[in-house]
Amino acid sequence: MYKVNEIFYSLQGEGFHTGTPATFVRFSGCNLRCSFCDTRHEDGVFLTADEILQEVTKNPARTVILTGGEPSLQIDENLVSALHKAGKYLCIETNGTGTLPPDIDWVTCSPKQGTKIVLTHIDELKVVYEGQDMKPYEQIPATHYFLQPCSCLNTEAVIDYVLHHPLWRLSLQTHKLINIR
């Protein structure tokens, strides 16, 4: 059983896959407490892998994004396998502090200050910028590096940082800008 906050269909609003239709499976619970988190961790229902699969397959998109909260606290090989058998492309958005089951197709790590990253493979590093020192994040091996304003409030500072540090790409929360989930 997995504690799921919500399952919904929309467009990916952030990072590398921005604009891609996807089914989001938002898990409840997290090992961190970030002030800008958009998940109500006390909410959720317990679902089996089959029940999650039933909901996910109602939507036409191949992409499924496992997010949270912190999905690494709950997902396992059984869920990953069931979604792959249904032909789904699996992305995860994780803080990087927990291990992941094998065979996830795309790993987005959004590390938080002062936490230890345990992942051995990161496709996309996405940091919410609050003026922190970015040098430690630049040492985390990833294929793509994205810097994101905190709740669209400090976009100019992020643009300035990216212009002076071209390792990073700007990631806007386009779902908030165009008012979709």
Catalytic residue (choose from 23, 27, 30, 109): 30
Q: Which of 14, 23, 24, 108 is catalytic?
A: 24
164: annotated active-site residue: no
Peptide bond into 69 cis (omega under 30): yes
Closest CA to 125 of 133, 5, 55, 117: 117
Catalytic, 34? Answer: yes
- Which candidate in 14, 93, 123, 124 is catalytic? 93
Q: Find the catalytic residue in 8, 38, 115, 121.
A: 38
Active site annotation includes 144: no
Q: For residue 138, indicate whether it is catalytic.
A: no
Of the residues 14, 27, 39, 109, only one is catalytic, namely 39
Place of tokens 């994101």: 148
Look up 93 and say whether it is catalytic.
yes
**What residues contact 36, with CB distance under 8 A and at least 6 apart?**
128, 150, 151
- Find the distance separating the first CA and the last CA of the chain, reported in whole Å: 25
Which residues sit opposite 8 in a β-bridge?
24
Query: Residues 8, 37, 76, 103: which is the catalytic one?
Result: 37
**Has 175 been annotated as catalytic?**
yes
Residue 37 annotated in active site: yes
Catalytic-role residue among 20, 34, 130, 138: 34
Rounded-to-5 percentages of helix, strand, coil across the chain: 20, 25, 50
Active site residue 38: yes
Query: Could you give the residue numbers annotated as active site?
Result: 24, 30, 34, 37-39, 93, 175
